[in-house]
Structure 1
Amino acid sequence: MDTEIQIVEVEAPKKAKRFVFVLLEQFTMLSFASAVECLRIANRMSNAELYSWALAGDGGEMVACSNGTEFKLQMDLDELTRDDVVIVCGGIDVQKATNKRVLNWLRREARRGVVMGGLCTASYALAKAGLLDGKRATIHWENQDSFAEEFEEVDLTKSVFVVDGNRITAAGGTASLDLMLKIIADDHGEELASAVADQLIYSSIRTDQDTQRLSIPTRIGVRHPKLSRVIQMMEQNIEEPISPATLAKDVGMSTRQLERLFRRYLTRSPKRYYMELRLQKARNLLMQTDMSVINVALACGFASPSHFSKCYRAHYQTTPYRERGAHGRRD
């Protein structure tokens, strides 16, 4: 059933602003769909062709996203105009999808002055091409550890999205909505952006000041300020772990009280919980980077590879070397 919509009056450009979505193999559908739907609805709500878009990719034929759905591409990695906006869409195993041809194309188009963006894990592709050096950027929280280890020259944040000059990055998922609503507001005003959000039934628009992960109390399902503070200190000190005695002292508790607090709410000791955090980071680094096993061990607070291997096997029922081999990374 057709319904009459309230048109938002804006000054239509002489030529629609074109977004070229570069779809890498195994890209995440949600982050891509969130972005392109904002553009479509902006056109509808303004009754004008403010934006156009094209789907591009290596080979220019077909590409599959991480849920298996295939998309027909409209163009190969062709030469663009300076007014185009490139949005690279990443997802699972972005390192493999970021091949030499993609990197060379990104560098070439960046030299031409094209605005470059990355959604979800595609910030990796931009960083690998050297396009985020000295820039603020973000990436999906699951890839933050490995990204920070590999690209020290990038000012990595935990924001849902970042706009730094002609480089734009979003953390994935619904963060693409927030980024595109920001772009629409900058281009054509807050009224249109709000109308687009309304159509999407999206009532909690976030800014670049919002962080992507849930708060610690929400994540662990416990609202206890001292417990949250201790977990925050643990998460911020993985490479050089802090002793339970020091953690307890810093929040005004005895070590025994801290032990009871963890066992009551998390059914494990502070030492066990801390070890699990360190091993989780180690697994991310093994699967997402080419760091040697010994460097992964050191980055996660283990003094020796043998101790690291013993702890890793006890938790994941496999060794770090086998984990690396199973995911096709080199050591």
Structure 2
Amino acid sequence: MTQATSQPTTALRKPVARQEKTRLSVGFILAKRFTLCAFANFVDVLRLAADEGDRSRPILCNWTVLSDTMDPIPSSSGISVHPKERLGDPRRFNYIVVVGGLIEDGTDLSAGYQNFLQEAAAAGVPLVGVCTGAFLLHRAGLLDGYRSCVSWFSHSDFKEQFDGLDPVTDQIFVVDRDRLTCAGGVSSAHLAAYLVDKHVGTAHANKSLHIMIIDDAHQAEKPQPGIPLDLKTQNPIVQRALHIMQQNIDAPISIQEIAQRMGKSKRQIERYFRLSLETSPQVAFLNIRLDLARHLVLTSQKSVAQIAVDCGFCDSSHLSRMFRRRYGCTPQVLRGLPAPQEQVA
């Protein structure tokens, strides 16, 4: 993929036939079995920024779900959304947002949607890929030469589908000229807030996030909660193994099983890790789990016992022992709580 040398901000466009007070107009295309959370987060930022208080009138912002058939669109959770408008002229929007669905479906957008997006791109309307929307835009040939962001969870799938392309998985969203992509989930709220900040104002963007109980707006460079920075590598085999580890944090699998999934031997995986990271895959897997545990200790209200379960440790005592070895203190001490009395075996 051609790497962009800069990320210039997208120019404010004046879409045709819009209300005089509207500063930001967004059209949504929802893939079959789209991710409801990512869509809802994006829309709610627009809704809360568009009006005073929580009145939801589409004044400063407006948004609509577009369709080529007007049939209800099922989300991955089984809840369907009814589109509001036919595709029509894309120039009436500042942005067209494509919300992706489940990777396993592997379906492309219909010819009607693809033609609409091609028309939007030709007219200079910026295109946004949310969650796996980047997959759909790539398959439609609309991200060639652009940097794109996907969730760390989808990194391996992306590389398998688009040979030779390496997406950004260490940021929550990417702005590359007139293409914007994000990892999905809460990152879609931050990308929407970025657009509100740009077109409507910082106060409106912050208001939306605060009402949604999201502390502050995050910039694009905010890292995804993924692989620790000291485990970054360009070796594709090690990268894939690390992502498999991430996907199995709460129920750790053996290095032998990881190797089998990758069609490699355990000894090969261990050799690649030593050459790329100067550590063993066993230590790397433990460090990924401990780094997540530390993140949860510092940023969540979960009990240490629950954090231990979430990070694949037998119990809180097991977590505390491993935690002390790595960080020099127990999770309780890091959180500012009295350390529990541990029994000596």
Offset, 1:37: 0.2
Gaps of 5+ in 1: 1-11, 218-224, 267-331
Match of 1:299 in 2: none
Aligned partner of residue 212 in structure 1, secondary structure:
coil
Aligned partner of residue 137 in structure 2, secondary structure:
helix
The answer to whether 1:131 aligns with 2:154 is: no
After superposition, the C-alpha distances for 1:115-162 in whole angstroms (9 at most, x for unaligned) are 211111111111112111111111233332232344457662112111
Structure-2 change in CA distance of 1:235 and 1:205 (3 Å): farther
8 Å CA contact retained: 1:170, 1:179:
yes
The answer to whether 1:178 aligns with 2:190 is: yes
Aligned partner of residue 127 in structure 1, secondary structure:
helix
Q: Supply the RMSD in Å over aligned alpha carbons.
A: 3.6
Q: Tell me the number of residue pairs that the alignment of Structure 1 and Structure 2 aligns.
A: 242
Match of 1:15 in 2: 22
Which of 160, 164, 186 is 2:172 aligned to?
160
8 Å CA contact retained: 1:133, 1:154:
no
Which of 71, 96, 110 is 1:61 aligned to?
71
Which of 24, 46, 49 is 1:42 aligned to?
49
* Residue identity matched to 1:30: C
Quote the Cα distance in structure 2 between the aligned partners of 1:192 and 1:263.
Answer: 41
* Residue identity matched to 2:38: S
Structure with greater helix percent: 1
Match of 2:119 in 1: 108
* Residue identity matched to 2:238: E
Match of 2:154 in 1: 143
After superposition, the C-alpha distances for 1:235-267 in whole angstroms (9 at most, x for unaligned) are 3376999663574577677xxxx598589989x
Which of 88, 99, 103 is 2:98 aligned to?
88
Gaps of 5+ in 2: 1-18, 242-261, 289-345
Match of 2:255 in 1: none
8 Å CA contact retained: 1:134, 1:153:
no
Match of 2:35 in 1: 28
8 Å CA contact retained: 2:26, 2:93:
no
* Residue identity matched to 1:140: S
Quote the Cα distance in structure 2 between the aligned partners of 1:155 and 1:252.
Answer: 23
Quote the Cα distance in structure 2 between the aligned partners of 1:249 and 1:138.
Answer: 28
Structure-2 change in CA distance of 1:99 and 1:45 (3 Å): same
Quote the Cα distance in structure 1 between the aligned partners of 2:173 and 2:212.
Answer: 19
Match of 1:52 in 2: 62
Quote the Cα distance in structure 2 between the aligned partners of 1:128 and 1:196.
Answer: 33
Overall identity of the aligned pairs, in %: 24
Offset, 1:87: 0.5
**Superposition TM-score, scaled by structure 1 size:** 0.62
Structure-2 change in CA distance of 1:215 and 1:203 (3 Å): farther
Structure-2 change in CA distance of 1:263 and 1:101 (3 Å): closer
Offset, 1:203: 1.0
